[in-house]
Amino acid sequence: MDVRDLVDRAARGEPKAWETLVDQYGRLVEGIIRKFANLNDGDRRDIFQDALLVLFQHGLARFRGSTPPELRAYLAATARNEALSYLRKRKRCPDT
């Protein structure tokens, strides 16, 4: 299925289209997050969900009509930014 069609359908609230997007791009997001060695598995799962939530809340409407490379670049940058944000927050609030 064409990514433009998937994004359009997911933006209209079709769960199957969203699931297909996650299936197609989830490994990319996981791969970016895995590069941060100082995260545990729970941290990685949280960041994965946060990165996809950003796409769902803010990116779908923006990426209607986009190409797969544009969506991949957005997801890679979002995953990286979410991981960095998580690490900054963790540094400010050390475990007690």
Question: CA 52 to CA 3: how far, in whole Å?
Answer: 16
**pLDDT tens digits for 35-72?**
998 899 999 999 999 999 999 888 787 877 778 888 99
Query: Does 44 or 1 have the greater pLDDT score?
Result: 44
Domain of residue 24: give its range. Answer: 3-92
* CATH code for the domain of 34: 1.10.1740.10
Question: CA 28 to CA 22: how far, in whole Å?
Answer: 10
pTM of the model: 0.85
Count how many domains the chain has.
1
Q: Average pLDDT, whole number, for the chain?
A: 89
pLDDT-based confidence at residue 23 (cuts at 50, 70, 90): very high
